Structure 1
């Protein structure tokens, strides 16, 4: 799991969920899988209750059009029978649709219950044939660059208008997460979907074991995290047991250490985000490589933590041993486990008896390292790349949208669904992700993770400039943390891997990096 949430390349964080949660698809489903991971029964406690009858009416056009609105809701598909890896007993979205139908006679909402082997290809083929779903799930980055232009309606003007179902807000956008709206905009500033949930990662912990070790509250700083692990050890409790995923943990540190250089690193190709080209150029210039002390400077700091771990999985491939490590935690054998927002569902599926808590990756201080910039990088691994990302098909991609009044009806349905109360209901019932709109609350087990959605999407990592770089870095990382390699030798190995990656990138792409 060495992929980075990037703005210009296909966001692949949720591919990690596929590996770690057995059954969740890329991007959550960029390649046709499901963003829900191992969905359990946790999270059926959305505070909003049943969706209330709409306050106010929708667009005037809805009165003139009647028919069926087809919607592919991805991991939130209600009562799904054909989509593996998601909860088959979800009903909130269906209940909301039923209430909408009751308030709008003649309109029916049909949810597509189908699994796609290659979802991106499905979207392209259906759009080319004019048969795309009226409302469809799509990653914001795909809409901004990967998919053909013109398949999704520009929703920007609607964001700036009142939503009749949110009477206390002047505009629809006022109810949304400002950071996410800004960060997911296309390069021209337009918005092609509404985004309501967030992939979060955090340290999950066994509150019962913490109590046994005399730890009264979750760690809030790096020093407190190290101290808590030592207290757990002293009490005869295994603090942590998992493979140190280089692809994930490097983002927390590098995003902090290099925060002032983000615009430089991401700016070589003059496009948003850190691309493989940006990475290759930064390596070749000695910025993202061992010539810069920040690049390896976090390894000894992180080793402070892993020195308190059970060593079984330190040199293992996270994709291979991840499930075993998670099972150790769910069985109550270890006190802390770093994972994604799908873990509470895993815990519910496993029938855990202990009280589950979570806390964000701590913000580092100058006492921890002089290399910190003080940036809160707790959200560097996650992002708004989950399942509540819905777009409206254009008439070119969906011939039925040419029917007079249908576009207005579909937009009205999206407005009805796109309210804080309903976002919270749908997201929390699934329990895999975190609702991020201001007036929403996540499930109790993930309440501390909600703040991650307010962080800028400026994560930095290394591993995408060649096919083998991530694997090489993971291998050296594990050997160093386990004590089988000195920092000096590890640094030499890392530099060798970086040099090979740059050489491969230049050859494969016939690119002269010196021009940047």
Structure 2
């Protein structure tokens, strides 16, 4: 997602870019101020997030209002931006050295850059009480050199969301568990007159999921950590991932005009999937809610299956690729900012978020609030995961992540070879 996220993350309508939720404050406000304290002990917190679609769009103001009612000396000025607009704005704010008191973070390389610039608060001690109640896996993306710089509020994985009715129409009796079976399913769907896969080619980040998962399934979950350390993506596993992805692209599995399609926009990936005009999409845990927000809801016809294994590969189904969302605090943020993060994750709010389908749980035991069978499957997969890889456009430095997205998009469009993809990403990694 691109990441997001993505991301990867919550992916939001481009039509709402720059839109503010109710009670939103000005974009700059008190970013990088002296702690937000005003006359008479009053505190103002700037809270930037990406909650521009339902149910978060309604839920967030309720959480803010409840927090302010319990803390009358605190005012929370909330700014919500569409995902890509948010990333662009945060890039500019990072460059200026002024971040909001509370802001969404996907962790990884972007957070690392902000930490190295001295802009992010170390939460290791301040969040120690929260750490004991959270799923340890959900916190990995926010740890750097043994210190904690963010608190997660959503965590999940990417997998295939599929239309059971369209699978049955094509004679695909069960979700494919191997790459060869997946390619066969794509062929059957095309033969039945069904668009096999919806893809938001314009946004690029959804395409990088395929290459990333294939590399993990071929080489095992540690391949990206090894490449990041060596700054070398030229290993055979990455070239092979490109070749496997080209196998898929050569079948022309995506909808007509996919290269100009967005993710949550009208006629985009989520809408095609939710309205039954495509059989599959490779997407994160947020997919059903975005499908619904885009005007479609498959109900009982929607299913989920993990990314298939590759015959002869070292990777397993229990090694997952994904991410979530978290919050970080600017360096020097007032203590009330940490109070807000605790309030955000209290039992009542966590149950509201999880039961509504807004997030996957990060608080231990909160998975009991999940009723949807697909989301239960995602939660069980996360609980049983033996390896985890964060979205590459968040795990790596921004320039490297963007190169992954760009190069994989070129490969899918048959404008780059698998070898050219690995060379371009390696070059980007070595210039960091």
Q: Is TM-score (shorter-chain normalized) higher than 0.5?
A: yes
C-alpha separation in 1, matches of 2:150 and 2:426:
36
Partners of 1:424 and 1:440 within 8 A in 2: yes
Q: Shift of the alpha carbon at 1:181? A: 1.9
Cα shift readout 1:427-465 (whole Å, capped 9, x = no counterpart): 66573x533333233572544333348542367799966
Give 1:70's match in structure 2, choosing from 45, 60, 72: 45
Aligned residue number for residue 79 of structure 2: 113
Residues 300 and 209 (structure 1), Cα distance of their counterparts in 2 relative to 1, 3 Å cut: same
Q: Shift of the alpha carbon at 1:394? A: 4.4
Which structure 1 residue ranges, 5 or more long, are not aligned? 6-10, 26-31, 35-64, 77-84, 162-171, 269-277, 402-406, 481-489, 512-516
TM-score scaled to structure 1, two decimals?
Answer: 0.59
Which structure: larger Rg?
1
Aligned residue number for residue 214 of structure 2: 253
Aligned residue number for residue 14 of structure 2: 22
2:196 aligned with 1:239, yes or no? yes
Partners of 1:240 and 1:309 within 8 A in 2: no
Which structure 2 residue ranges, 5 or more long, are not aligned? 21-39
Cα shift readout 1:61-119 (whole Å, capped 9, x = no counterpart): xxxx963452415124xxxxxxxx434983434434444455x4644442323657623
C-alpha separation in 2, matches of 1:16 and 1:410:
22
Give the secondary-structure state (helix, strand or coil) at the position aligned to 1:180: helix
TM-score scaled to structure 2, two decimals?
Answer: 0.69
C-alpha separation in 2, matches of 1:111 and 1:196:
20
C-alpha separation in 1, matches of 2:244 and 2:9:
25
- Within a 5 Å distance, the mapping from 1:264-279 to structure 2 comes to 264-268=226-230, 278-279=231-232
Aligned residue number for residue 36 of structure 2: none
User: Which has the larger displacement, 469-478 or 354-363?
Assistant: 469-478
2:338 aligned with 1:411, yes or no? yes
Aligned residue number for residue 307 of structure 2: 362
Q: Shift of the alpha carbon at 1:239? A: 3.4
C-alpha separation in 1, matches of 2:137 and 2:54:
29
Cα RMSD for the two superposed structures: 4.6
Aligned residue number for residue 206 of structure 1: 163
Aligned residue number for residue 30 of structure 2: none
Cα shift readout 1:215-272 (whole Å, capped 9, x = no counterpart): 666455546645655665565544335478652211001123233554542223xxxx
Partners of 1:67 and 1:108 within 8 A in 2: yes
C-alpha separation in 2, matches of 1:500 and 1:105:
51
2:139 aligned with 1:181, yes or no? yes
Aligned residue number for residue 318 of structure 2: 376
Give the secondary-structure state (helix, strand or coil) at the position aligned to 2:343: helix
Aligned residue number for residue 389 of structure 2: 457
Q: Work out the number of aligned pairs and report it.
A: 389
Partners of 2:123 and 2:149 within 8 A in 1: yes
Residues 196 and 17 (structure 1), Cα distance of their counterparts in 2 relative to 1, 3 Å cut: closer
Q: Shift of the alpha carbon at 1:474? A: 3.6
C-alpha separation in 2, matches of 1:181 and 1:138:
12
Aligned residue number for residue 435 of structure 1: 361
Residues 416 and 263 (structure 1), Cα distance of their counterparts in 2 relative to 1, 3 Å cut: closer
C-alpha separation in 1, matches of 2:252 and 2:425:
31
Cα shift readout 1:155-204 (whole Å, capped 9, x = no counterpart): 2123434xxxxxxxxxx3222120122342012x1112211113643322
C-alpha separation in 1, matches of 2:363 and 2:408:
36
Give the strand-richer structure, 1 or 2: 2
Residues 158 and 306 (structure 1), Cα distance of their counterparts in 2 relative to 1, 3 Å cut: same
Give 1:297's match in structure 2, choosing from 240, 244, 250: 240
